[in-house]
Structure 1
């Protein structure tokens, strides 16, 4: 499945660009309350908007895809984030994105997906030029941005392809011809079927540029980074997920076989981000004049979302105070490779900048202390219900680590260093964060094995269910922001954490997979993790006084 696959896919030719242009959140468009608007995307990128009624199920959706787009649906699965929708669709909210994929044992490149006629699609698929996906709290701002785009399209002001980067991206402009948004279709990401820059070979839902980020899901992460930037702390630009139609979008010949003629518009799911005017990016000049507060704010966000691709090229620099150099502000962009499904090696370019070694200010410490991973998890499940639970667990873990490390007095560079792996010869060693996680997982496994033996003894007395219920409640009551360290046995754990972790990692590249734990084990893991963090940080403080660490030689995807 890792080898290039020659795919064919259908194209949704939709309504013309000059009428019924915009449709957004159901709160604004007067839809019938018993109907939900969803966007079904095939693994090759084809998108079809449809109305779901209360009685509809997964088989109904597959049947419509087969009839309307001639998509073969035998041996296929309809997925919504982590959920495989076998029948019931009650969990699906309006304006959600679903993915239709072939089952792994039945993937084939021999069955083409033929294109229907434009007339047939206009009768059945009433998608608009731009439809906002999701229920963002900033819907009004996003709606205004979308309206600027539509006004320009009506005046024949066309978008412009972005030359840089590995994926397909387009500048959309306003009525004055000014760039106002960057649109990135999910099927034009690196390795996706319609990538315009030659990086193809996979279908949506497969591991992508980073093994822990699936193809077609970087747009979700772009939106997540914006939603998690509370109070616009790091200045992440306004970002949303949309279903958008335009003829400029790329369609690879290897996918379509040159079957498209006089294309009036291809419908795609994409992230749309507000364009921020700027003077250059951080790679164009040295970092010595960057404000300490700006570096800290971006770093705090990157730590929380475990950004695996923070290079200087995705930090914009804008002059302030009438353009005098020396007075600048930083704007972070391109967060498609954050929130991976498991811990891996992050890339923090700022880790080498002197600003990252300056202690946090009082206001920064207060912001970190105010972060609530549980509330953030609830918010993401509401705003981006298609995001995978593993990504939310990574956010929870990293937020907990950031809060503990900052409260202990670590600076940003030290925190980033504990999260980054070191390279010894040709092998990677687990990061200090991963070492702590592995020891916590080891203790959870040992406790689970012990309790299983106890459960076997108690089962004849009916005690097992009650014990498990009470244990689950106690795990969920653990607060990620509290400073309690547990009992005196914790300090002894710090001395054996690294050695025991190395014994268990072997040659794996993903040392910590949070999806390997069930719900009870996850909450117990968080409790054990918090017990181990303090001693591990203390041990690091002592070792850093005596040992000079080698500079980290990570790599960036320049995504």
Structure 2
């Protein structure tokens, strides 16, 4: 049985367990600057030996460093690490430098040291059958001299890998080439892997496993997410900043990367180039259901591919939608989502019986356990967000809300230049406060008991809710919301706040309508924008990582009751979908 020392509910130190490791395992260790090395672990290997191998092979400093596996900080024993797991070597805060160069070994040396092929799937290959076929096609093409092609659009590094016929079959996105990552090829650098990224609650280098999570959660291809896996991949096409090489030597050098590997879908255009009238209601609903479950913070028209399925006729041209780019889903705290479909007419049509049956069949606890097994590096806070949003979706859909109404309750509003919490976030804040009151044994559940703070009042009654609701409550969901103060950020995270070069954070009203415009490379004289020059981080109203398991259970219990109350209030108040001010924060990777 594992023995863990908890420093906080979401951060833990792993010292070992009572079982002896059996056989050998292969792991892929990545430094915070992007270097990757695959190595075989014997049953007697420990953390210190892994660090020493990295130092010898990659010439990276290991003093004052930690070996981490998701939330877990490994102290010495490695028996809990499964085969083909990705580990991250990070330097402690006082010794961290974002300018440390990535010193990757050459291609032949790398293959001799880690004995892995040019493309290796991380995790159980039995669940990635289609991806394994694509990997075989790519490897055959690479051996035949068919090189990948760089993708010039977007904010991060991406590459099309081809088959022997020269056809694109996969798109690969290295984790160390994401926006702000040390090897970003578009000039958006300034942070090391594991620090807050474009979204404060999505860390740099962790969008790859989120892409895989979205695919794994898309049961029976309900939303049509393309097959996706996490891989270790080696090629000279990849970008490495400050590698100390140039010219022909640079072109011949191979670099190993941890990356997301997704099937390339042949399509005709994306949703930004096509009117929404030809999109089927079912397509929009299915993608929306997935977006709500995973709290997708970046569902813009550019990551909805459109493919023609017939030649038209009396009913006109029929098309299907394929959702891609899920790297900004499952944040570690509640974020403001961006749902492109929220004002599409299809989103205001009630769910079909089949869709309601699918929603009813969802089990957030089984989903979380599945992701723990398949993506053991995923952080517990991400799974809590998945659980919370799935509970919200099931309860709201069961109450009769349409997709647009559900998305509206999750979306923040901007009033007089200030960002106000969404209705979902307000419910979560009240649930946390109610759970805290219960723990202090001063909270009494009765029709006469209310919660009062700064003029904010919310009546709670788990009895006959419908008869006790007063439509003229001073607080009504979505109407005249009283903006609550933001949660205080921890002092240790203050240095991670992304600020513009002037040192002043502009108000939300001064932000552009998309991060893509805000992060234009052309805005910088040198063509490079460091993380310290970027737009400010969004507000964090609700955190889930700082609750113990017991507090989390109490929170969910209170949340369910408050949500039921809010849904009844919405029904009696006749609330429906309405236009919101859209100051989106979408971007393209």
For 2:59, the equivalent position in structure 1 comes to: 70
Alignment map for 1:450-489 (pairs within 5 Å): 450=441, 486-488=462-464
In structure 2, the residue corresponding to 1:346 is in which secondary structure? coil
Q: Please, which moves more after superposition, 209-218 or 103-112?
A: 103-112
Pick from 539, 550, 555: which aligns with 2:569? Answer: 539
Structure 1 residue 116: Cα displacement: 5.4
Change (3 A) 1:489 1:169: same
Task: Give the C-alpha shift of residue 553 in structure 1.
Answer: 3.2
Match runs of 1:60-209 below 5 Å: 60-108=49-97, 121-135=110-124, 137-209=126-198
Please say if residues 72 and 113 of structure 1, whose CA atoms lie closer than 8 Å, have aligned partners that are also in contact: no
Separation of aligned partners in 2, 1:548 and 1:326: 30
Measured in 2, the distance between the counterparts of 1:516 and 1:501 equals 25
1:310 corresponding residue in structure 2: 299
The partner residue of 2:554 within 524, 527, 533 is: 524
State yes or no: 1:434 paired with 2:412.
no
Q: Work out whether 1:419 is the aligned partner of 2:410.
A: yes
| Cα offset, 1:493, TM superposition | 8.9
Q: Deviations over 1:81-113 (max 9, x none)?
A: 000111122221111100001111221368666
Closer/same/farther in 2, CA of residues 132 and 77 from structure 1, 3 Å limit: same
Deviations 1:435-487 (A, max 9, x none): 110000001111122399xxxxxxxxxxxxxxxxxxxxxxxxxxxxxxxx954
Q: Which residue of 2 aligns with 1:449?
A: 440
Query: Residue 226 of structure 2: which of 219, 237, 260 is its match?
Result: 237
CA separation in 2, counterparts of 1:93 and 1:501?
48
1:515 to 504, 523, 545: 545
Q: Distance in 2 between matches of 1:297 and 1:409?
A: 16
Partner of 1:390: 381
What is the alpha-carbon distance in structure 2 between the residues aligned to residue 301 and residue 434 of structure 1? Answer: 19
Using a 3 Å threshold, how does the CA distance of structure 1 residues 502 and 270 change in structure 2: closer, same or farther? same
Mapped contact 1:70–1:116 kept (Cα < 8 A): no
Structure 1 pair 55/367, CA: closer, same or farther in 2 (3 Å)?
A: same
Report how far residue 140 of structure 1 moved.
2.5
**Over residues 252-276 of structure 1, what are the superposed CA-to-partner deviations in whole Å (9 max), with x where a residue is unaligned?**
2x35464954534211000000011
Q: After TM superposition, give the deviation of residue 135 of structure 1 in Å.
A: 1.4
Q: Find the counterpart in structure 2 of residue 354 from structure 1.
A: 345
**Aligned partners of 1:267 and 1:339: how far apart in 2?**
27
Distance 1:258 1:323, change over 3 A: farther
1:28 paired residue number: none
List aligned pairs for 1:202-281, cutoff 5 A: 202-252=191-241, 254=242, 256=244, 258=246, 261=250, 263-281=252-270
Q: Tell me the CA shift for residue 59 of structure 1.
A: 1.3
**Which residue of structure 1 aligns with residue 371 of structure 2?**
380
Partner-residue secondary structure (3-state), 1:516:
coil
Displacement of 1:554 in angstroms is 2.3
User: Relative to 1, partners in 2 of residues 1:147 and 1:521: Cα closer, same or farther, differing over 3 Å?
Assistant: same
Q: Give me the whole-angstrom Cα distance separating, in 1, the residues matched to 2:87 and 2:199.
A: 22
- Kindly tell me the number of residue pairs found equivalent between the two proteins: 495
Residue 557 of structure 1 aligns with which residue?
587
What SS does the corresponding residue of 1:356 show, helix, strand or coil? helix
Quick one: structure 1 residues 215 and 490, their matched pair in 2 at CA, closer, same or farther if it must change by over 3 Å? Answer: farther
Q: Could you say what secondary structure the match of 1:380 adopts?
A: helix
Pair 294,261 (structure 1): closer, same or farther in 2 beyond 3 Å: closer
Equivalent position SS for 1:39: strand
Note the alpha carbon deviations across 1:381-435, whole angstroms, 9 max, x for none. 0000001110000000000000000000000000000000000021110000001
| 3-state DSSP of counterpart to 2:76 | coil
Please state how far the C-alpha of 1:322 moved relative to its aligned partner.
4.0
1:548 to 1:49, Cα distance in 2 relative to 1, 3 A: closer
- Please give the alpha-carbon distance, in whole angstroms, between the structure 1 residues aligned to 2:121 and 2:543: 33
Quick check: 1:191–1:201 contact (8 Å CA) kept in 2? yes
1:33, distance to aligned residue in structure 2 (A): 5.6
Q: Which of 275, 287, 293 lines up with 2:282 in the alignment?
A: 293
Whole-angstrom distance in 1 between the partners of 2:410 and 2:576: 20
**Correspondence for 2:500:** none
Classify the secondary structure of the residue corresponding to 1:244.
strand
Q: CA 1:491 to 1:103, structure 2 compared with 1: closer, same or farther past 3 Å?
A: farther
The 8 Å contact of residues 439 and 501 in structure 1, kept in 2 or not, is answered as: no
Gaps of 5+ in 2: 1-20, 444-460, 490-538
Q: Which residue of structure 1 lines up, in the alignment, with residue 446 of structure 2? A: none
Could you tell which deviates more after superposition, 349-358 or 56-65? 56-65
**Residue 410 in structure 1 maps to residue 401 in structure 2:** yes
- Distance in 2, Cα, partners of 1:156 & 1:172: 12
Given that residues 62 and 91 in structure 2 are in contact (C-alpha distance below 8 angstroms), is that contact kept between their aligned partners in structure 1?
yes
In structure 2, the partner of 1:466 is none
Q: Secondary structure at the match of 1:241?
A: strand
**CA deviation vs aligned residue, 1:179-228 (integer Å, no higher than 9, x gap):** 11001111111111111111111111111111110010100000000000
Aligned to 1:462: none
TM-score, with normalisation over the residues of structure 2? 0.79
TM-fit CA distance, 1:173: 0.8
Aligned mates of 1:82, 1:276 — CA distance in 2: 33
Can you list the C-alpha shifts for 1:500-539, whole angstroms capped at 9, x where unaligned? 9845546871111000111000011111111111111222
Separation (CA, whole Å) in 1 of partners of 2:424 and 2:466? 16
How far residue 126 of structure 1 moved from its aligned partner, in angstroms, is: 1.8
Distance (Å, rounded) in 2 between the aligned partners of 1:510 and 1:73: 34
Partner Cα distance (2:435, 2:476) in 1: 14
Alignment check: 8 A CA contact 1:352 1:413 kept: yes
Residue 558 of structure 1, CA deviation: 2.4
- Give the distance between the partners of 2:469 and 2:550, measured in 1 at CA: 22
